[in-house]
Amino acid sequence: MKCTGVNLKVIFLQRDIYGNVASFVRHNKGFWKGLIRFKIINYLIKKLLINNNLDYIVINYNALCNNSVTILNKINEFLKVNIKEYSDRLNLKNAHVQTGNIWTRKSLENYKGLQSDNSWKKILSINQKKY
């Protein structure tokens, strides 16, 4: 994966561990499977980025949702491009997703802008939240 003459920058948009694991619990795939999978995949992604000397930034999805201006400024600084014009569009209700999947299009009919995932608060038990 060595790139010569290419200025490659990676934005690693990371889902929150709680939301990720809660998704496994919700789909009856198990808490431990979700937790271990999250840890392993995130470890491997970071290892790949480091081992290949890639310039990267890790962005937490919930942080992007809850503090979009600050996070977009961080991304803007990392990429060294002006993304201000795009930041104003994040919370617009009119969005376009390139997909041929009718279920994805249907799920976006009531799009309300970026929203953090707090469903895990109801799905995970008190003990599961400790991990």
Range(s) of the domain holding residue 80: 9-129
Asked whether residue 2 is assigned to any structural domain, the reply reads no
Residues 18, 52: Cα–Cα separation, whole Å: 29
Looking at the domain assignment, is residue 1 inside a domain? no
101 belongs to a structural domain: yes
State residue 69's pLDDT score.
Answer: 84
- Please tell me the total count of domains within the chain: 1
Contact 49, 9 (CB under 8 A): no
* Beta carbons of 14 and 60 less than 8 angstroms apart: yes
Return contacts of 35-38, CB within 8 angstroms, 24+ apart: 35/131
Residue 26 lies in a domain: yes
Whether residue 4 lies inside any domain: the answer is no
Domain-located, residue 50: yes
- State the average pLDDT over residues 96-125: 72
Q: Which of 30-39, 67-76, 116-125 has the lowest average pLDDT?
A: 116-125
Instruction: Report yes or no on 94 lying in a domain.
Output: yes
In a domain, 39, yes or no: yes
pLDDT of residue 36: 94
pLDDT band with cut points at 50, 70 and 90 for residue 13 = very high
Say if residue 125's pLDDT is above 70.
yes
Among candidates 90, 38, 36, which has minimal Cα distance to 68? 90
Q: What value does the mean pLDDT of the chain take? A: 82
pLDDT band, residue 106 (cuts 50/70/90): confident
Tell me, yes or no, if the pTM score tops 0.85.
Answer: no
**Span 50-104, pLDDT tens digits:** 999 999 999 998 899 888 889 988 998 999 887 666 666 665 555 555 555 677 6
Phi-psi region of 122 (alpha: psi -120 to 50; beta: other; left: phi over 0): alpha
